[in-house]
């Protein structure tokens, strides 16, 4: 009987549990193999209690829950593991131990559910002889080789609801409301939500913005008789000739933490346009809670497809959504082309056509 490990790495995203459930059910009903859960991303392979037996009974009904029953770890990279040596914290390559552990456990392959960072670790383990199958996850929707990651649709719907709510209070108080949404390198959440909910200005990482231009946009809006405004800002947006804004510096293992750009834009607009502003940072509300029907539908199909690839020995591939179908692509190819908002694409064009300012 074949045996596969499944793990969820990086930040969580709504739909992770639906992937796990589908893989376990497909293993039981279709392929007659076993799936073992690995706790806390790759870390579970090095922890004493790092494995969780998974059965149809233990995954029953988990598809509607956010988060991941296996736990996730942002810093769990076996190629760069923080350990204490002689009272000092040092970073060590523990990938050899992980490879040995996978062999000891008799795992035929790992099903790795994650974004770019986690999938890159899977690719590196593959180069050390581990069989892997990738499943693309992130609310940012920025993994290459697929049109959609699960988690994005849920985050998008939460952001749209937030903008709708900000709209009514903006109107009541005649204020410019700013909403900072997630999106480190890609502005899909900001663009899609801003377009869907009627934002006046959308700032995304792919389009460095001009401070003077957005002030001009708000001034002309006020001059046109509109007394309120809605600005949606990706956390990763940055001004022309400026840097992204961080709330915390990075360290040996973690990227710097983004946050604060919307507040900087708000301060500038207050100063330049004599308007009252308020800033909301949507944060992890976008990542938590119940997945939408679309995300469950996609995640379930991804989980079943990943198990199919593993069970038929098609390793080194990532499941992918293209033109309404779940298919698969080489993992290496997906990682080579991270996805960004297409500035020539129809969503950006529609935004410009209907008068939304992108800050350029």
d(CA 297, CA 351): 28
CB nearer to ligand F6P: pick between 134 and 183: 183
CB nearer to ligand F6P: pick between 73 and 269: 73
Beta carbon of residue 205, minimum distance to ligand F6P (angstroms, whole number): 10
Chain positions contacting ligand F6P, by CB under 6 A: 11, 74, 115, 138-140, 182-184, 235, 258, 287
Beta carbon of residue 68, minimum distance to ligand F6P (angstroms, whole number): 12
How many CB atoms are located within 10 Å of the residue 240 CB?
A: 13
Q: Which of 116, 140, 153, 228 is catalytic?
A: 140
- The contacts of residue 298 (CB under 8 Å, 6+ apart) are 15, 148, 150, 153, 321, 326
Beta carbon of residue 350, minimum distance to ligand F6P (angstroms, whole number): 23
d(CA 172, CA 169): 5
Owner of token pair 């698969």? 328
Beta carbon of residue 88, minimum distance to ligand F6P (angstroms, whole number): 25
Cα dihedral sign for 9, 154, 237, 207?
positive
- β partners of residue 326: 321
5, 131 in Cβ contact below 8 A?
no
How many CB atoms are located within 10 Å of the residue 174 CB?
A: 13
351, 191 in Cβ contact below 8 A?
yes
Whether 43 is catalytic: no
CB nearer to ligand F6P: pick between 24 and 139: 139
CB nearer to ligand F6P: pick between 23 and 182: 182
Residues belonging to the active site: 140
């Amino acid at each position: 009987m074949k045996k596969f490990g499944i793990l969820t790495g990086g930040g969580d995203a709504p739909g992770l549990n639906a992937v796990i459930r589908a893989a376990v059910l497909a293993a039981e009903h279709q392929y007659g193999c076993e799936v073992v859960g690995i706790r806390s991303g790759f870390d579970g392979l090095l922890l004493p209690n790092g494995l969780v037996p998974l059965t149809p009974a233990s995954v029953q009904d988990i598809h509607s829950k956010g988060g991941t029953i296996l736990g996730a770890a942002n810093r769990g990279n076996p190629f760069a593991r923080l350990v204490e040596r002689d009272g000092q914290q040092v970073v060590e390559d523990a990938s050899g131990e992980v490879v040995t552990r996978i062999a000891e456990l008799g795992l035929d392959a790992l099903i790795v559910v994650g974004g770019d960072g986690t999938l890159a670790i899977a690719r590196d383990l593959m180069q050390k002889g581990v069989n892997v199958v990738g499943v693309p996850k992130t609310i940012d929707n920025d993994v290459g080789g697929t049109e959609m990651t699960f988690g994005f649709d849920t985050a998008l719907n939460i952001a749209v609801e937030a903008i709708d709510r900000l709209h009514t209070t903006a109107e009541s108080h005649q204020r410019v409301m700013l909403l900072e949404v997630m999106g480190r390198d890609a502005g899909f959440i900001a663009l899609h939500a801003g377009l869907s909910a009627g934002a006046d200005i959308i700032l995304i990482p792919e389009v460095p913005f001009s401070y003077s231009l957005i002030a001009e946009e708000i001034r002309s809006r006020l001059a046109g008789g509109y007394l309120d405004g809605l600005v949606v800002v990706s956390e990763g947006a940055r001004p022309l000739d400026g840097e992204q804004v961080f709330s915390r510096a990075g360290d040996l293992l973690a990227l710097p933490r983004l946050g604060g750009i919307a507040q900087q834009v708000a301060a500038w607009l207050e100063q330049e346009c004599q308007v009252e502003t308020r800033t909301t940072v949507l944060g992890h509300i976008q990542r938590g809670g119940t997945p939408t029907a679309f995300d469950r539908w996609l995640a379930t199909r991804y989980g079943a497809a990943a198990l199919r690839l593993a069970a038929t020995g098609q390793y080194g591939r990532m499941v992918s959504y293209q033109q309404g179908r779940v298919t698969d692509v080489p993992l290496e190819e997906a990682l080579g082309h991270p996805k960004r908002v297409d500035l020539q694409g129809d969503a950006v064009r529609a935004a410009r056509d209907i008068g939304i300012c992108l800050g350029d």
